[in-house]
Amino acid sequence: MTAEAAATVRTTCPYCGVGCGVLASRAADGTVSVAGDPDHPANAGRLCSKGAALAETLSLEGRLLHPLIEGRRTGWDDALDLVARRFGELIAVHGPDSVAFYVSGQLLTEDYYVANKLMKGFIGSANIDTNSRLCMASSVAGHRRAFGSDTVPGCYEDLELADLVVLVGSNLAWCHPVLFQRLSAARAARGTKVVVVDPRATATCEIADLHLPLVSGSDVALFNGLLAHLHARDAIDHAWIEAHASGYQAALDTAQSMPLADIARITGLGEADILRFYELFAATAKTVTVYSQGVNQSSAGTDKVSAIINCHLATGRIGKPGAGPFSVTGQPNAMGGREVGGLANMLAAHMDIENASHRHIVQSFWQSPGIAARPGLKAIDMFRAVADGRIKAIWIMATNPVDSLPEADLVRAALRQCPFVVVSDIERHTDTTALAHVLLPSLAWGEKDGTVTNSERCISRQRPFLPAPGEARADWWQLAEVARRMGFGSHFRYSGPAAIFAEHARLSYIANAGTRDFDIGAYADADGAAYDALEPFHWPRSLEDYTASRQRRFFADGRFYTPDRRGRFVPTPWRQPATAVSAAWPLILNTGRIRDQWHTMTRSAKSARLMRHLAEPFVEIHPDDATRLGLASAHLAEITSAHGSVVARLLLTTRQLPGRVFVPMHWTDHFASRARVDSLVGAHLDPVSGQPELKHTPVQIRPFPAAWYGFALCCRRPVFRSEYWAVAKAKGGWRAELAGLRAPADWTETAHALLAGNGKQDGLDVLAYFDRSTGQHRFAAFEDDRLTGALFVSPEPVAVARDFIADQLDATFSAHTERFRLLAGRAPAGRPDAGPIVCACFEVGRTRILEAIRGGGGASVEAVGAATSAGTNCGSCRAEIGELIHAACLAKAG
Ligand code: SF4
């Protein structure tokens, strides 16, 4: 083996549920590089912009490296003793339901398994829930209703084999980019038809043959109409239903109760477009319906899932190559969490908490003193119980609920008054760690060792290639140590993650014999060496019939996991979202991801390259709404709901329907003054899944009355007292957007203090410019000709070449003319301005792409790619390139 090969580790991306394989290489000097794993079944060597930037997110800056009690450094023994003692005391006095674990789809399966075992088997409560509740709980509930199990029937290959792919509430291009690449390639090769059902014209629409911009919350009406249409067109597979499913007539009766005109009114779609979709679906046997957060994050999320599955059951299009309903998960290990029972209403190994024989299987296997006999509190109810004092101690692992849960300000208040809060995290400073009594340092990606399961049931290893920093330890180890201190040590004596995985595999196999979907019994005896060498594999992998269980799809034989082994149709009467617009709250807020950030940005924001795509929280609004409300492009707006308010930059776009606005989910108090979008969202839950409605919040929006705007560049993270700020990493420093209600008395003094960073202004050479006619102030600071900072201030939004300026930190400006050019906010000759980054993979900016288009090398996205490389790796920026080409064509025609 060569030295180079020895340093390369096969691991798995820690971001989205596509679960791409990554080759991570660590050079002798510690430098890490990453590449897509050509042998991983999910990505075959591809990576998206986030995956490709993983090496840029590994710095220890901001890491939590030691246990802390009340903010003071302590040793592991003291911290773990305190956790075990406080949990034990509270359980003794108030019972097991007085404590809770709130865990995460970021945890590895082994961590998840131990957490679930400790809470459900040994503490004796089911008060363990996960942030996956916010992500795909409605899919879980919909699967269980229809299939009798939480089974994803298909696999990624189905998107490549299908003749029609319907994407519902899924911005695949930004949220599952490698899957989007696979679909795009299949479409180019074989002409796959693509229908996008989404209120927004997202980047995914670039490959859509038909986009249905339905009113949010109306999906059930659309798919009920589809079922009725399939029936009317005689496109139903009655023989298959007869043999394999129940409840068709009741579901059909409900579906037929709504005429097409009503569906058009409710969905806001034209009848012709609806019928075009219905006809496509009816005529295409090989149809896959992919759904994601736009379906799940709804007060009718489970019914939306059921309405989709009904159409697939009715046509027998399930479990077949290129046909089936397909839920894609947001997080890297949402599926692994489901497999070990990480949700409050499930048991380990896909067993049911309500099922006495399942409880007996698990309890006997664990040899635990008892087992939780009823579902615990789901995420939202869990934090309500923290707020009202029923839960007195909570252990939060690898998640940031102060930002990510709805009614986020109430969650913050609940944790603030909770008697005992433990947080295990990799970051020292998050909005949640700020409220912890005990902080436990966990391992990050690159240090962790375990497995994850992606959206197509493929289990892959995350392998370490970096040493554990400081005193950080694995989450499973922290849990096992607390279990030992609580008196359960003999049941948690694991030598490492391999032993946990083997136990998990054994439990999946016990008393199974094909009665449960989740079975990885083939690995029940996997030792450390086998675990280390584990190749990605799709479950099931049973012990008895290893070859037969290598099936890639479920339900091809028409046998489900319900008591009678038949699939279930579920009637889904349409109902309105939980809240409606009113005179006070006239717009509907939608929330979601952006291409280059992950969750609350604790990792992805460490990459200056990723921050260059969208560096500031923004609100998308239709130009007509903006005009009506007196909102101007690039100004700031305050968005308010019944629960809170945020401030964000206005982005006027026809991608947004009138009456709707969109704000990304990522920004926290760590990166912006007031942009925690979930502080706006009400905790309205799906009654079956308990998933909150994150995509339909009535809001109002008004101009933020800024007296001045600023853009700053600093070597160190700047500190502001202005009413609005948003910071982002830049190359060698930080960039910041600023605004205030009142201008400082002395801009020169303010600029010097800001640009000095550490307070020392000696040796700082500050060039200043004031334009009396426009009221603009501009400052640039140099040390030995090197640019160390800049500040641009204006009564209107600052108009400078931000991305060029952000790249100039530490650059040499010896000539006076160059310095003044910089102050003018323009790129000097010989230092071209790339413009805002469009292609993060190859760092190709807007300016470069426009040049390629104008130069004749860019009549198509492919031609721009050939000229600039933009869009030729992950493909997530292809839609933006397409928009630029379209705009250029319009400008030329005009
Ligand atoms: Fe990671 Fe991107 Fe693959 Fe998702 S698509 S797993 S974020 S590389």
CA of 175 to the centre of ligand 1 (A): 8
Q: Find out whether the beta carbon of 879 lies less than 6 Å from any atom of ligand 1.
A: no
Torsion of CA 128, 131, 135, 141, to 10 degrees: 0
CA of 59 to the centre of ligand 1 (A): 20
CA of 456 to the centre of ligand 1 (A): 14
> What residues in the chain have per-residue pLDDT under 50?
1-6
Q: Find out whether the beta carbon of 177 lies less than 6 Å from any atom of ligand 1.
A: yes
Residue 533: which residues within 8 A CB-CB, separation 6 or more? Answer: none
Whose CA is closest to atom 3 on ligand 1? 20
Task: Name the β-bridge partners of 735.
Answer: 713, 728
Q: Find out whether the beta carbon of 380 lies less than 6 Å from any atom of ligand 1.
A: no
CA of 312 to the centre of ligand 1 (A): 28
Whose CA is closest to atom 2 on ligand 1? 48
Cβ density class 368-379: b for 16+ within 10 Å, e for less: beebbeebbbbb
- Residue 825 structure tokens: 């906010």
pLDDT at 832: 67
Walk across the sheet containing 193-197 and list its strands: 210-212, 193-197, 164-168, 287-291, 324-327
CA of 61 to the centre of ligand 1 (A): 23
pLDDT at 893: 64
Torsion of CA 485, 490, 491, 495, to 10 degrees: 90
SS (H, E, C) 444-477: CCCCCCEEEECCCCEEEEECCCCCCCCCCECHHH
pLDDT at 643: 97
Q: Find out whether the beta carbon of 16 lies less than 6 Å from any atom of ligand 1.
A: yes
User: By the 8 A CB rule, do 295 and 326 touch?
Assistant: no
User: By the 8 A CB rule, do 527 and 291 touch?
Assistant: no
Q: How many residues does the chain have?
A: 894
- Residue 830 structure tokens: 């010989």
CA of 574 to the centre of ligand 1 (A): 34
- Residue 219 structure tokens: 């999906």
The Cα-based distances of 811 to 303, 787, 804, 826 in angstroms read 57, 6, 11, 15
Given the CA of residue 47, which atom of ligand 1 is nearest to it? 8
| SS3 label, residue 672 | strand
Given the CA of residue 52, which atom of ligand 1 is nearest to it? 8
Handedness of CA 550, 555, 556, 557 (dihedral sign): positive
CA of 353 to the centre of ligand 1 (A): 33
User: By the 8 A CB rule, do 158 and 358 touch?
Assistant: no
Cβ density class 173-196: b for 16+ within 10 Å, e for less: bbbbbbbbbbbbebbeeeebbbbb
Nearest Cα to Cα of residue 55 among 16, 17, 19, 8: 8
Residue 218: which residues within 8 A CB-CB, separation 6 or more? Answer: 266, 267, 268, 574
The Cα-based distances of 551 to 319, 324, 354, 497, 554 in angstroms read 10, 15, 29, 27, 8
pLDDT at 761: 61
Q: Find out whether the beta carbon of 15 lies less than 6 Å from any atom of ligand 1.
A: yes
Please report, as a single letter, which amino acid is at residue 737. E
Residue 104 to residue 111: CA distance in whole angstroms: 10
Give yes or no for a cis peptide into 540 (omega within 30° of 0): yes
Q: Find out whether the beta carbon of 20 lies less than 6 Å from any atom of ligand 1.
A: yes
Q: Find out whether the beta carbon of 51 lies less than 6 Å from any atom of ligand 1.
A: yes
Residue position matching structure tokens 């040390």:
783
CA of 105 to the centre of ligand 1 (A): 15
Helix (H) / strand (E) element for 183: namely: helix 177-190
Given the CA of residue 18, which atom of ligand 1 is nearest to it? 6
CA of 840 to the centre of ligand 1 (A): 14
Q: Find out whether the beta carbon of 458 lies less than 6 Å from any atom of ligand 1.
A: no
CA of 841 to the centre of ligand 1 (A): 13
Pairing of strands 567-568, 450-453: unpaired
Residue 203 to residue 884: CA distance in whole angstroms: 13
CA of 177 to the centre of ligand 1 (A): 7
| C-alpha gyration radius of the chain | 27
Please report, as a single letter, which amino acid is at residue 377. L
| Tens-place pLDDT, residues 296-314 | 999 999 999 999 999 999 9
* Burial class for 421, CB neighbours closer than 10 Å (0-12, 13-18, 19+): buried
pLDDT at 829: 66
Nearest Cα to Cα of residue 141 among 687, 830, 627: 687
Q: Find out whether the beta carbon of 50 lies less than 6 Å from any atom of ligand 1.
A: yes
Q: Find out whether the beta carbon of 178 lies less than 6 Å from any atom of ligand 1.
A: yes
Cβ density class 114-147: b for 16+ within 10 Å, e for less: bbbbbbbbbbbbbbbbbbbbbbbbbbbbbbbbbb
Strands, E, within 215-367: which ranges?
245-246, 287-291, 324-327
Q: Find out whether the beta carbon of 18 lies less than 6 Å from any atom of ligand 1.
A: yes
Residue 598 to residue 400: CA distance in whole angstroms: 12
Candidates 48, 462, 594: which one to mutate for ligand 1, based on the most atoms within 8 Å of Cβ? Answer: 48
Q: Find out whether the beta carbon of 13 lies less than 6 Å from any atom of ligand 1.
A: yes
pLDDT at 6: 47
Cβ density class 695-721: b for 16+ within 10 Å, e for less: bbbbbbbeebebebbbbbbbbeebebe
Task: Name the β-bridge partners of 587.
Answer: 699
- Residue 394 structure tokens: 């909570």
Q: Find out whether the beta carbon of 402 lies less than 6 Å from any atom of ligand 1.
A: no
- Residue 885 structure tokens: 């080409």
pLDDT at 619: 97
Residue 693 to residue 700: CA distance in whole angstroms: 18
| Tens-place pLDDT, residues 148-184 | 999 999 999 999 999 999 999 999 999 999 999 999 9
Given the CA of residue 48, which atom of ligand 1 is nearest to it? 2
Task: Name the β-bridge partners of 640.
Answer: 645, 700
DSSP string of 385-440? Answer: HHHTTS--EEEEES--HHHHSSSHHHHHHHHHT-SEEEEEESBS--TTGGG-SEEE
User: By the 8 A CB rule, do 680 and 702 touch?
Assistant: no
**pTM recorded for the entire structure:** 0.95
The Cα-based distances of 264 to 275, 304, 338, 579 in angstroms read 10, 17, 37, 20
Residue position matching structure tokens 């999910």:
42
> For the chain, first and last CA: distance in Å?
62
Residue 409 to residue 406: CA distance in whole angstroms: 8
Helices vs. strands in the chain: H and E counts, helices first: 31, 34
CA of 473 to the centre of ligand 1 (A): 25
pLDDT at 443: 98
Residue position matching structure tokens 């609806």:
274
Residue 630: which residues within 8 A CB-CB, separation 6 or more? Answer: 702, 703
Q: Find out whether the beta carbon of 712 lies less than 6 Å from any atom of ligand 1.
A: no
CA of 48 to the centre of ligand 1 (A): 6
pLDDT at 4: 46
Pairing of strands 393-397, 324-327: unpaired
Candidates 11, 12, 15, 610: which one to mutate for ligand 1, based on the most atoms within 8 Å of Cβ? Answer: 15
